[in-house]
Every structure is written in C-alpha cells, then in structure tokens.
Structure 1
Amino acid sequence: MVDRRGCVKVTDFGIARRLRETTSRISRTGDEGTPAYKAPEMLEGQKIGKRADIYSFGVAAYEMVTGRVPFTGTGMELMYRVLKAEMPPVEADEVQVGVEGMDTGEVAERLTAVFRRCLAKETEKRYASCEEFVSAVYAAVGAEVAEAAGADKTLNQLCKAVEKAVAKQRRLLVSATKSMIGTPGAGTPTVKRAGTPFAAVGLARKRAERDELVKAAEGAEARGDLAEAVSLLEEALRVLRSEELEDRLEETRRRYEEYRKHRKAAETAEKAGNLEEALSQYKSALQFNPSSSFLKTRVEELGKELAEREKERRRKARVQALREKLEQARRDGDWHRVFALCDKLERLGVDVESERREAQRRTLDAQRALRKAKLAWQEGNPEAAKALMDEVKKHSPWLWRKNEDFASAVEHRAKCYSYHRLAQEAEKRGNINEALKWYRKLLRLSEDAPWRDSVKSVVVQLESLIAKRRRRLVFISIIVVAVASVASVAAWYWWHRAQQKRELIACWRRLREVVAERKWAEARRVAAEILKLHGDNSAARQIANFRWGKYLTEQKVLRGHKSDVESVSWSPDGRYLASGGGGGYLVIREGPRLVPVGYGEVRVWDAKENFKCIARLREHTRCVTSVSWSPDGRYLASASWDATVRIWDVKQGFKCIATLRLARGASTCVWSPDGRYLAVNVSPDDAKAAAVFAVQQNFKCVARLSGHSHWVRSVSWSPDGRYLTSASLDKTVRIWNAKQNFKYVATLYGHTDWVLLVSWSPDGRHMASAPGGCTLRASECKWAPVGCEVRIWDAKQDFRCVAKLRGHALWVFSVSWSPDGRYLASGSWDKTVRIWDAKQNFKCSARLRAHTDYVWSVAWSPDGRYLASGSYDKTVRIWGVSQEKVQQLLNAIDAEIKKLTK
C-alpha cells in the first residue's frame, strides 16, 4: 500500500506479530501468508528458513515474467498442486530477450530451468540466496550483470519499479477523485463533500482501474497475447470483482489453455517431422487465438511446405512408375518403347542417357544378328542360323517375336541336324541304345520331311538288334541270379548256424554262472531261453523244471540275539539281512537298587561277508516285532511292542532319524512298492486302526484305516501298490485303495478265527492269509469287469478260495513268497518251516525242522538264493539248496558246454 506521503508499506502477509502479544494467532484467519506464494514446507508445518522466502520471491518473479502465478486453484486443490504438481513451463511468447539475435524459445527453456530450481519441492535444491537467483535470471535472458555491484543494481531496479507503481496509483486516485467532483456552472469546480462519502471515492477509483486493466486486456487479446490478457483480467478481478468479469476471465483462460495445448502439440509434431499433424494443431490453436500473427504465419508456411512436398511426392511416384515400365520394356527387348519412356523421364528431369545409349546399341546388335541368321539359312546352315537367332532373342526379344515364324523354322531344322549328328556319333562308338534314342527323336520331328522313311527303317533295324541282345542278357542273368541265390542261402545257413551256436554257448555259460550263484529264478529264465534255441535238451529242461524248494538245507545259523527273533527281512539288493527281536535285559541303578530293564534289538547281517553282524540297533525298549527295508534300500523300519516304529538311515550308519509314536505295540510295518508310504498295523491314536505314514512329509500320518472291530494284526501291499490289505483279530480281511486316498473297497469274510497275517504274491495273482487256527488259505485275486473297480474275494466268482494248505500243527505266524511266485514258505509255532509249490496246487514240497522252538518269521532273499527264518530259539537260520545238488547241475551244464565247443 502507498500512504499520502508516497511511502510503500507491505501488509497482509500474516507472518509478523507484536512482541508483547500473548495470543498464538498471528492473523485473523490463522493463515501465515497467501497460499499461492507459500513454500511447501510452510504448508506441511515443517521448520522454515530463508529458503522459504526465496521460494516466495521466486513465485513473485515468475508472475512478473509470465503474468500468472505458477499454481492456481482454491483450498485443497491449490495446496495439492504446490506440494505435488510440477511448475508450468515459461512460454516463448511470454519473454523478452536482452541480447539481439537470441531465440525466445531458448530463453523460455532457460527461465523454466531457473524457476524450477527456485521453486523446488526440496529445500536443499533451491538457490542459497536471492542474489544467486537474480544472477541466474539475468543470465537466462542474456543480460550482463556485474558481479561486484549486483546487489546495488537489483535494489535500484526494485526502487524504480516501486516509484512507477506509486505514480500509477496516484494517477488512478486523481482520476477517481475527478469523477466524484460536480461542475454546476462555468465557475470554479466545487467538491461535493456533503453528498459523497469517502467510500464512494474509493469504489470509483477501483472501477476506473479495473476498466483500464480490462481495456488493456482487450488490446492484448487483439494482439494475440492471451497470456497477457489472462494476467490483466486476473489483476482487474483482484481490483474489483464482478460476475461478468469472472466469466470473461474463465473463458479467456480456457481459450489460452486450449491454445497452449494445441500449440505445444504442433511444435512437438513439427520437431518429429509430422507436418500434417503440426498444421492441424496450428489450425486448432488459431481457432482459440485468431489474432495471433505467429499462428497465421506458421499455418501459411506449413501449407506451402506441404503443397511442395505433395508435388514432389507425385513427381517421384510418376518417375517410379515410368522406371518400372522402362525396366519391363528392357526385359522384353522392346527398345522402341524404351525410347518413348526415356523421353517422358527426361521431361520430368531424370537423366536416362545411359538407358538410351543401351537401347540404341542393343537394337543395332539385334538387327545385325538377324541379317546374319537369314544369310546362314540361305546357305543351308541351320545350326549357325539358330545360334544367331538366339543372339537376336538375347538382344531384342521384341524383334525375335516379330520374326517368330522364321525362328521356329530355324530351330526345327537345327534340332533335326543335331539329332542326326548325335545318332551317327553313338553308332560309331557302338552305343546302339543311345543311337536308337536320337533316331526316335529325329523320327518324331520328321513328320513331313523327305528323309522320314529312311530314318524309320534305321529305327526298326536298331530295335531288332537290341531285342536279340536283351534276350541273351536275360538268360545269362537268370543263371547268375540262381547261382548267387543258392550261394547266399548256403552262406546264410552256415552263418546262422554258427551264430546260433555262439548264442547257445553264451546262454549255457550264463546259466552256469547263475546256478553257481544259486539264483534260481534267473536260472529258470535262462534255461527257458536255451530250450527255445536248442529245442529239447535234458539238462536245460531239468533246470527249467528244477524244484529247488524241495532241496533246501540249512546253510548258516546266525547267533547273537539274547531273546526270540520275531522278524527277518532282506534288503532289496539281497546283501543285508535284518533281524529283530528281544535284546535281553540291561541292569540300571535306581538309587540304592539295581533294576533289570528289557530292550528290543535289531541286528543287520552282511551276506557278502559270510553273514557278519555289522550293526546292532538297541533304541527300542521292548521286543522288536517287525523289520522292513524301503524299496531303494535307503531306510530300515522297525516296529516294537514299545508302541513305536523307528526309521533307520542306512547311509548314515543306521542312524535313527524318526520315531513314530503309536497307540499300542505294533506287530507289522511294511513299505509301499514305490517307497512313498509306510503302513503300520496300529495308528497313533487308535489301537484298532492301521495307519499310513508319508515319507516325503517327514513321516506324517496321512491315513487312518479304521473299520475293524478288533486289533489289526498284519498289513500287506499289493505288488503294484494300488491296494493295501489289513488282517484283524475280528476274523476279516479288509482291502483299501491307495490310489484313491486309501478309500475302503471291500471286506473278505470266511475265516472262523483270528486272521494273524496276510501277504500278496509277487505277480499279484494270489494273496495268502493265515487265521488263528491251523489252516493257511491262499486266495486268488481277479479283476472285476468294470475298468477301475476291483471285486475281491467274491464268494461265487472273484475272490474264491483255491487251496487250503494243511500240515502245520500249530498257528502259522509268518509267510513269504519266493521272488518268482512259485513257492510259499510258512513258519509255525510247531517249530517247522514248510515250502508249498504253487505250480503243483500248493503241495508241500519240503519241511525244514532245524529250529528248536517257535518259528516267528520267514523271508526269501530277492534273488531266491536263500530263505531266512527267525525263531523263539534266539537264532536266525539261512536255508539254501545243498552244495551236492548244485554241483550235479553244474556238471550237467559243463558237459553241454563241452559238446558245443568241440
């Protein structure tokens, strides 16, 4: 504000307070300054410093340059723009350069960079002082500023600006005062003091100032300077508000924004080389600012440039089309058309002198060759004439087509001469077939020729001669083929016989190896191959039908267990034998007393080291009832009456890696064929339900097979791993489908007493179950007609009893199938092991009586070489075919090998 003495006073900043005031408010509204000029840290309530004043000074300087504040709006919209939005750039038509020849666009870009640094959101990125900011502004507009006197110059300029503002305010005040003074006559003017209040004088002054600003805005709009018009209208609106002026300002501002948007898009398109888009955008901008001389000039210039481009494009397209026609005419040899196209291209300003010279040269060459060809034809040399006509076709296809009849006659006569010459040359070489080929071609060309009859007679003579030679060759070929066939058949016969003999010798030697190793299942397979190769052979047939289960004798007695051996199991490779049972008692001290404590023990025997005991596992606290190897031989599982199943890692030296807690003592643990699951006859929470543990889930119980009404005594997997069978003391056997999340399938009834065990044969055809009486049953599994359903143990069809194995005097507690499924071994409390032959309707073929007490467990080795049995007499006995019988078989095999190698 300016007082009557001309002094400038700054008010309404809301940032000053009297020192003696106790109130915390520093303004009536509580706002500290005008929001459009406030720094972001002031709006956020952060700590402020001198850089906040530099930000406010930058806003004022931006308004002085562009005529508008950088961020507009009201309330929260204005606050959001100050905090987040980017400062609008300075336009080229809003600045004036200080050096002649400088580009306004470049100056606008420099000023934009200066103001964006001054108005940075982060405090540390702004200028450190106002002097640095002013120097940057002068440098951007091209004005020279003396570094030593920079502060004085800036102060002088500010003083001059203030003086101009004061003078302007005084003129407006005088004008407003005069409008309020009356003139009743020609005398001296008299001020109407009584009838006009002081507020009316101020309102008149504001209206006059507003009208002057509106008039200036109209002038700026007439010059096409919408930015200046918007700035003046905003200033007029701040002087005195009116709805009409607000609407006018809003319309002018909208036109200015549209004008800026289209002009910026036009400049971007022009820089990218898209003149059509630039012209369209300039025209759109001209609709919102029709008084802009710059836009009119650019529209006119771009229109002319686009017209020139279109004209040049059409000329190039015309030239390209004529070029393509010229190339086609050159390929066709139409040199007259080439001359015409060259004339058109020359009129378009294209240099075609080389094409014209080529057309002249090729035309002369073609005419010259045509004259020579006609001369050679007249001289009776058609081959030379044909070569010359080919040259004419090469130089000028158009001229060749014009003389096509002559060229065809020349070509026909030349072919006849050529065929006749080639036929005579073939006759001289004695190649009758080739001569006949050329004479036949000559005959086809000589339909109206005078030499046709002579050529025909020559062809007939040559054909008869060739027929005679062919008949002679056919006879000789038949004889040669017959002799060769006989020789090849004889050679194949002797080679095949020698090859068969070699294969037979190899099979006998292989049979000797497997018999020596007592691998009877493999020996039977090799013997069957020998019977296929050799036919009927007594030695091979003896081994193929060898009932090795009948000749089992005791081979080894394993001692070391302190109590009964209740379970034996072979590793998948047949090297190790695990046996489990009671380990005896340990004496421990409890206070002053010595207390005996029983424990279970698992022993591991190495078959390759003469069944040496290599491990003793004693972590069970009661008798071990079952041991089982995983299919890959990595783990050994042991079940015990101490209500646990322990998992031992073979690769870690039989270290116990998991302990499965059960509801009561377990009697059976069995691995699934794929090694993914371990089935136990007791679950962790139910003594009458079996359980399945998942190996890949850290031996988590994934299935609980409940349904039996009494304790489950035994579980067994089918060979394909599809079914799990459970035998219970409730006199039933239940089938569970492992592929369907262990869903219950069927129940097998028929036993009249406890079912102590169940076991599948290796081929999955038979299933053996032993009741609590003295009879062993073998049941046959058949597939149901429906694809995925299995009907097991149907009383009439599917699950029927095919054999009742009688012979044991007491309960049968263990059965084991041989690897080939032929024999079934059973161990009983009658201290014997019996061998049943499945091929002879499960007839008992052997009875082993070496044990002195109950036989708890039996197990065949994977190769069928040994049968292991564990007994209450604290021993494990190994049974195998006697050495005398093995030696008899080896002697018979050696005799056969000796016959073949003579």
Structure 2
Amino acid sequence: MTNTQDSEVETKSILCRFKSESGEIAGDMMDLPLSCTVEQLTLICNAILQNEEPVPYLFYANETEIKKSLESTLDINTLNTESVLDIVYEQQAIFKVHPVTRCTASIPGHAEAVISVSFSPDGRHLASGSGDTTVRFWDVLTQTPYKTCKGHNNWVLCIAWSPDSTKLASACKDGNIIIWSPENGAQLGKTMKGHKQWVTSLSWEPFHKNSECRYLASSSKDGDVRIWDTIMCTTIRTLSSHTKSVTVVRWGGSGLIYSASQDRSIKVWRAADGALCRTLEGHAHWVNTLALNTDYINRIGPFDPVKDTNKVISAENKDKLQEFALKRYEGVVATAGERLVSGSDDFTLFLWDPHKEKKPLARLTGHQQLVNDVKFSPDGRILASASFDKSIKLWEAKTGKFLGTLRGHVQAVYMVSFSADSRLLVSGSSDSTLKLWNIKSRQIEFDLPGHADEVYAVDWSTDGSRVASGGKDKVLKLWQN
C-alpha cells in the first residue's frame, strides 16, 4: 500500500504559475511535478523570462522558501491540486562575496579611540573618525595612511559619505560639522555651526533625489535635526519637536526624514518643507538606532560596486546615473515600500511602515539587554540586531518573524555590517574580536581576533572585498579573504 502511495506522490503534479515579487505574472500556467527541484525551477524561470545569461533565483510557495523541491515545501495532505499555486521568484545576488579570513593590515595613526570607519560608496576610499579630533583617509590598495584632516577641536563622533563619493561629512562633540575632500584631504567650505550640543548622526539626501549631493541632515543631543546646504555651509531648516536628545537621523529615499530620540519617539518629517508628518510611539525607553530597508541602495547611489569600480560621475552623465539610481530604489520599494526598524534601550525592536501607519507592524522581542545596532541586509530580506546581551538576532524583514540567534561574543556587540550579497555578517564587540557569521547556517564562519581592546566600528566595503574595523586600541585594521 505504501509503495502505491509513494508512487502516487512521485507522479503527482500541480498547476503552477510564476509570479515576480511585485506580483507580475510571468508566462503561462503549467503542470509541474511535485518532485521539481529548485535547480529545475531556476531553469524554467530563466527560460520563461528569456534571460540571455542564467540568473539565480529564490522561490517561495505560500510564503515559504522552496529550499529543495516543491514536495518538501508543500503539505501534501492539505494540498488542493485543483487550484493554481503561485511560485514567487526573487533574484539572488549574482556575485558572491568571499568571507574575510585574516587581518591584512593594522594601521596605526590615530592618537585616540577610532569611533567610526566607513568605505565610500564607490569602494575606492576609506575614512575614519577618532577621539583625537581628526578625520583620516586611508589608501585602501596600499593599506597605508593617506591624509589626516584637522579642523575639529573635540572628538569626531560620526562621519558620512556623500552618495557620489566626492565628499565626507564629519561631526564632533562641539556640535560642528565639516565637509572634506577625499582626494586631497582639504576642508570644503567653512565649518558648519548651529547645533548647541554634540552631533549624534549624519545622513545625506539620496542621489536619486538630488544628484548634486548638496544636502545633509544632522541630529544632535540638543534635540534638533538640522538640514544643511553643504555648498553654502548654512542651515536651511531646523526640525524641532523632540523633547530630548536626538540619537539618529535617516534620510529616506521617498523624501522623508526619520529621527529617533531619547524622548522614546520616532518622528517622520517631510524633507521638502520640514513638516512633521507623524510621530511613531511605542518604545518604553530611549530609541538608539534606526535602519531602513533602502539604506544600502541609498548608500551606493549611482554605483554598482561589483561592476564599475572606476565609474566617475561627470556633469554629462549625472542625469543618466540619477535615473539608474531611482530605478534601483523603486525596485527595492516595489513590494513593501520603505520599511523602518527601530531599536531601543527597552530591549525591543519595532518594525514600521512609516509612510502610512502610526502603529508598528511588529514588535520584536527576545533581547535581554539594550539594542545597540540594527541593519537590513542589502537585499532587504533579513534584519540583524546587535545587543549588549552579547548576542545578534536575525529577523525576517517583511514580517519581523524571529529567525535565530547568533551566539559567540562574550561581551556586548556594538555593531554589525552585512556583505553586499547578504550572505555574510561581520560583528564588532566589546570583547575585542570581530566575528564573521554565515546567515544561512547561523554559525560563526571565522573568529577574527587581533584588536587589543573594544571594537567600536566595523564596515564592509560596498564591493565586498574587505572589512575595516577600529576601536579603543586606536588602530585601524583591514581584513580580507
């Protein structure tokens, strides 16, 4: 009897159709055997879409990823073979980032702790900000110090690259903001003053909104968010509504600015006129961190870090590149819009649809201590949150569903950074190590010791080739495969 049932299952087929993430039907309906594998689905999908080069896809049936075959994903007993099964396909990253396995350079230079490290969107430059009041540019290829920028008189707390990679903004504990040229380390324009206390975060207007890369938002302990014209070096707008220190600001791709504060709220502002659109409430303590599912796409702007490492933006090709950046942004927000996640001292995260809703879509619980950092994977599918409870948790970005915990650090985890293909994650911790995690297996791939003290900052280059880290030991380290 069992043999007959087995053979029935083997020969059973189901009526299917392929559907894109945004809901477009591809090709006609077809009968597929339940034994159809992911490899076979990939071949069929590529044929239907008439792709010249084969493209790797992820497939979902009833919101569950098909990992082996249709049979192993679907519940055969409850399956209605009369109805049509939608198989949703999502394009995977074409390239594969190799895991970083060793430290290739330990570069001294800073005289105090390295507080921030950041690769430029085009992957050609690397910058760091330190407690020694300087900003430094490093030569990525020769792995040596390149330029030291002096202009601040207090700790440099945050840095941010313009989306066209031509300018770096830095802000310090005195509340001053300076724009630098990565080519020669020169200060561009005058020091921008206005904040009454230290600046906590910087965010540029995305390239697809303005290819001039002229406007910058800053948040401060003084409770204000300011929008700056970085060419005139003046404040155009002050957004005041928070009652306590603003911890982070994010300039979204749809013309909205998001700010989080120690007053436990997140505010959504219209960048064009500074109007307050809505206040998002729910956290029981300070909101420390914000991330958008469009952060990566907004960060790389007009660049495709894998293909065009030498792309130069000229006045002639700006319009074309702006269109390219806009199309890519629209591709990311086509399915779920611009999603926001917030992490707090109350140990929780909230997932928001900030364009429409004041209420959170989901409350993400499980951390035992404050949430320090949160990032969406570049493909927008996964959320990673780092906490003082020594763990990193992974969540489904669309629903907030808990996926798993990454354990291995023995002290607080300060910061995480995804590889450009979303397959790997690197974390920096108070335990003086970096750890490299495999997102699929949720295991440590490599332990990266080497720092002599707490690791405050970590960044994975946009082309996936290297990781930079810095911390209390004043040394900048580069890690490669």
- Give the alignment's TM-score, normalised by structure 1: 0.32
Per-residue deviation, 1:571: 1.8
Q: Which amino acid aligns with 1:827?
A: G
Other-structure match for 1:621: 153
Mapped contact 2:224–2:246 kept (Cα < 8 A): yes
* More strand, by proportion: 2
Deviations 1:707-749 (A, max 9, x none): 323211222233x2533222222333333332x4233334444
The alignment status of 1:715 with 2:249, answered yes or no, reads: yes
Other-structure match for 2:124: 575
Per-residue deviation, 1:554: 2.4
Other-structure match for 1:870: 470
SS in 2 for 1:667: strand
Cα pair distance change 1:577/1:551, threshold 3 Å: closer
Mapped contact 2:228–2:234 kept (Cα < 8 A): yes
Per-residue deviation, 1:629: 1.6
Other-structure match for 1:343: none
Q: Which amino acid aligns with 1:874?
A: K
SS in 1 for 2:241: coil
Other-structure match for 1:704: 238
Mapped contact 1:556–1:877 kept (Cα < 8 A): yes
Other-structure match for 1:158: none
Mapped contact 2:247–2:261 kept (Cα < 8 A): yes
Q: Distance in 2 between matches of 1:853 and 1:799?
A: 36
Q: Distance in 1 between matches of 2:224 and 2:405?
A: 29
SS in 1 for 2:191: strand
Mapped contact 2:435–2:444 kept (Cα < 8 A): yes
Deviations 1:389-433 (A, max 9, x none): xxxxxxxxxxxxxxxxxxxxxxxxxxxxxxxxxxxxxxxxxxxxx
Other-structure match for 2:167: 635
Q: Distance in 2 between matches of 1:835 and 1:527?
A: 31
Q: 2:204 is matched with which residue: 671, 674, 683?
A: 671
Other-structure match for 1:293: none
The within-5 A match list for 1:484-883 is 529=55, 548=97, 552-583=101-132, 600-608=133-141, 610-650=142-182, 653-661=185-193, 662-674=195-207, 675-682=213-220, 687-696=222-231, 698-718=232-252, 720=253, 722-738=255-271, 740-761=272-293, 762=296, 763=332, 767=340, 769-772=342-345, 777=349, 782=353, 789-791=355-357, 794-795=360-361, 801-803=400-402, 807=407, 811-835=412-436, 848-880=448-480, 882=481
SS in 1 for 2:199: coil
Other-structure match for 1:498: none
Q: Which amino acid aligns with 1:687?
A: D
Cα pair distance change 1:810/1:760, threshold 3 Å: farther
Cα pair distance change 1:734/1:576, threshold 3 Å: same
Q: Which amino acid aligns with 2:432?
A: K
Q: Distance in 2 between matches of 1:630 and 1:801?
A: 30
SS in 2 for 1:863: coil
Deviations 1:285-315 (A, max 9, x none): xxxxxxxxxxxxxxxxxxxxxxxxxxxxxxx
Q: Distance in 2 between matches of 1:687 and 1:731?
A: 15
Other-structure match for 1:78: none
Mapped contact 1:727–1:734 kept (Cα < 8 A): yes
SS in 2 for 1:668: strand
Deviations 1:546-596 (A, max 9, x none): 97575543232221111100011112221111111022xxxxxxxxxxxxx
Q: Which amino acid aligns with 2:123?
A: G
Q: Distance in 1 between matches of 2:97 and 2:471?
A: 23
Cα pair distance change 1:546/1:799, threshold 3 Å: closer
Q: Distance in 2 between matches of 1:655 and 1:830?
A: 36
Mapped contact 1:691–1:703 kept (Cα < 8 A): yes
Mapped contact 1:836–1:844 kept (Cα < 8 A): yes
Mapped contact 2:225–2:246 kept (Cα < 8 A): yes
Per-residue deviation, 1:757: 2.5
Per-residue deviation, 1:846: 5.3
Deviations 1:816-873 (A, max 9, x none): 4443455554433343445566667x77665543323222222221212112122111
Q: Which amino acid aligns with 2:204?
A: W
- Give the alignment's TM-score, normalised by structure 2: 0.56
Deviations 1:598-625 (A, max 9, x none): xx011111112x1221211122111111
Mapped contact 1:731–1:753 kept (Cα < 8 A): yes
Mapped contact 2:215–2:227 kept (Cα < 8 A): yes
Cα pair distance change 1:670/1:816, threshold 3 Å: farther
Mapped contact 2:100–2:466 kept (Cα < 8 A): no
Q: 5+ unaligned residues in a row in structure 1: which ranges?
A: 1-524, 532-542, 584-599, 784-788, 883-902
Q: Which amino acid aligns with 1:699?
A: C
Q: Percent identity?
A: 29
Find the structure with the greater CA-based Rg: 1
Deviations 1:118-138 (A, max 9, x none): xxxxxxxxxxxxxxxxxxxxx
SS in 2 for 1:727: strand
Cα pair distance change 1:855/1:863, threshold 3 Å: same
Other-structure match for 2:322: none
Per-residue deviation, 1:640: 0.9
Deviations 1:792-827 (A, max 9, x none): 662469996434856456555444444345555443
Q: Which amino acid aligns with 1:563?
A: E
Deviations 1:484-523 (A, max 9, x none): xxxxxxxxxxxxxxxxxxxxxxxxxxxxxxxxxxxxxxxx
Q: Distance in 1 between matches of 2:167 and 2:94?
A: 37
Mapped contact 1:814–1:828 kept (Cα < 8 A): yes
User: Which aligned segments of 4 or more residues in structure 1 are displaced greater than 6 angstroms?
Assistant: 543-547
Q: Which amino acid aligns with 2:292?
A: W
Cα pair distance change 1:548/1:876, threshold 3 Å: same
Mapped contact 1:859–1:868 kept (Cα < 8 A): yes
Deviations 1:678-727 (A, max 9, x none): 11112xxx80122111235x132122232323211222233x25332222
SS in 1 for 2:249: strand
* More helix, by proportion: 1
Cα pair distance change 1:796/1:670, threshold 3 Å: closer
Cα pair distance change 1:749/1:800, threshold 3 Å: farther
Cα pair distance change 1:768/1:556, threshold 3 Å: farther
Cα pair distance change 1:846/1:652, threshold 3 Å: closer
Q: Distance in 2 between matches of 1:730 and 1:549?
A: 42
Mapped contact 1:649–1:657 kept (Cα < 8 A): no
Q: 5+ unaligned residues in a row in structure 2: which ranges?
A: 1-50, 58-91, 208-212, 297-331, 364-396
Mapped contact 1:725–1:734 kept (Cα < 8 A): yes
Per-residue deviation, 1:631: 1.6
Q: Which amino acid aligns with 2:224?
A: A
The within-5 A match list for 1:145-544 is 529=55
Mapped contact 1:672–1:721 kept (Cα < 8 A): no
Count of aligned pairs between the two proteins: 316
Deviations 1:752-793 (A, max 9, x none): 4433222334246664544347x684x65558xxxxx43366
Mapped contact 1:731–1:755 kept (Cα < 8 A): yes
Identify which of structures 1 and 2 has the higher relative contact order when contacts are C-alpha pairs closer than 8 Å and 6+ apart.
2
